[in-house]
Amino acid sequence: MTFSVEHPDQTAPITFEDRSELLTWARGEMSFWSSLKISGLRTPDQYVRTAQTNLQRLVDSAKDENASDADILQKLRSVAPTFYLSTGPKGQLLESLRSLGHEPQTLTAALAALLKAHDEVKNSMQHAHWTYNCAIALAHVAVFEASGDPNLLVSLYRAIEEYKDEWATELTRLRTQIAENQSAHTTEVETLRKSVSEAQTRMSETTATYEGEIQKIRTKFEEQFALRTPMTYWTEKAERHTRAARLYRNWFSGLLGGGTIALAVIGYYALFPFLGTHPTAYWALILFSVLIALLAWPLRMTSKQYLVHQQLYEDASERAVIAKTFLALGEQVKLTDADRQILLGSLMRPASVSLVSDDSGLNITDLIMAKTFTKS
């Protein structure tokens, strides 16, 4: 039996030809998560333990000869979405960090950032033995979220490593020179200390600039992704209202056409001949007027519902256009707080349906009913 499951990390379903292939895949994913050695933070710890536990259950189920293929497939579909795939973008990011020799603390902080556990990462940076690891992890995650390609991190890491090697070489040279001349050249020692202080200052300035640029990139992408959700929502809402408006328009047209034909047939074949023989039978006109009123009521309801959904369609379409406009502008210019307030007010304002409220003016059905009762 073929086993297939969909996963958010891949566009195409994951397919396994038999249990053996499924078992090999599950063991590989377990090996991947075990090799990361995630520990130290609550959210990533729970995430990894849950992934390993679910994968172990899947392995046990696939190895059990008494388990049916349907049970294994159900287990696979319930387990697979609970963890990032080792072959997916986020899994490749963690694998790149591990293969490049980063410490488990860095991998833990990176996974916490991917899981949006920002408070835990922020608290960890207050501890001296976590600060460097969190900074490296956040830098890699920021580059990953900005580009979506984990392979770019390899070149970035190598550039950082080259810079670190140059800095370490320079420090070694300075320490050697200080050790050789410390006893006889106190003045030279003070000069070297001043050089080190200046170098640290430049390093701090460079780090601050780098973090500022990363924050700008993160803010821009968060604004872009935040606008895509309301744009999709209002677009879908506009489609629903236009479908509903079309339905009520068809009902109105059908009721109007069918009712007019039916009333014409009744009048021609029943009412007029009857009045010809009984000219004082006003009750027949009253009964015919009641039929017209009964037809006018659903016409009024369907016309009002059509206008309601038509106006709501226009309103939802306008909001979708607003979101698309700000999304397009956000790619070219930086949005200010005032711009965000304008956008929020436009998207969250209440929809107006005053044109079809109960206190609106006369419509077609009102005129028909009034005219009918006047004649009767």
Encode the chain (376 residues) as per-residue pLDDT tens digits: 788 888 888 888 888 888 888 888 888 988 988 888 888 888 989 999 998 898 888 888 888 888 888 888 888 888 888 888 888 888 888 888 888 788 889 889 888 888 888 888 888 888 888 888 888 888 888 877 776 665 565 566 556 666 666 777 777 887 888 877 776 667 777 888 888 888 788 888 887 887 777 776 666 655 555 566 677 777 888 788 888 888 888 888 887 888 888 878 887 787 777 777 777 777 877 787 788 878 788 888 888 888 888 888 887 777 777 777 776 665 555 666 666 656 655 565 555 555 444 444 444 444 444 444 444 4
Q: Which of 93, 110, 102, 101 is nearest to 40 (CA)?
A: 110
Count Cβ atoms below 10 Å from residue 76 Cβ, excluding itself: 20
**CA–CA dist 295, 290 (Å, integer):** 9
How many other CB atoms are found less than 10 A from the CB of residue 319?
A: 22
Q: Tell me if 334 sits within 8 A of 358, measured CB to CB.
A: no
Which whole-number Å values give the CA distances from 158 to 96, 136, 164, 211, 272, in the listed order? Answer: 12, 13, 10, 18, 97
Closest CA to 179 of 189, 165, 191: 189
pLDDT, one tens digit per residue, over 145-161 is 776 665 565 566 556 66
Tokens of 45: 């710890």
What is the C-alpha separation between 348 and 100, in angstroms, rounded? 47
Instruction: List C-alpha distances in Å: 23 to 16, 18, 252.
Output: 9, 9, 60
How far apart CA 218 and CA 104 sit, in angstroms, is 24
Separation between Cα atoms, residue 314 and residue 320, nearest integer Å: 10
DSSP H helices in the chain: 19-36, 42-63, 69-79, 89-99, 104-114, 118-124, 128-147, 152-181, 186-266, 272-277, 282-332, 337-348, 364-375
Encoded tokens for 202: 């430049």
Q: Cβ neighbours of residue 75 under 8 Å, at least 6 residues apart?
A: 57, 58, 61
1 in Cβ contact with 72 (< 8 Å): no
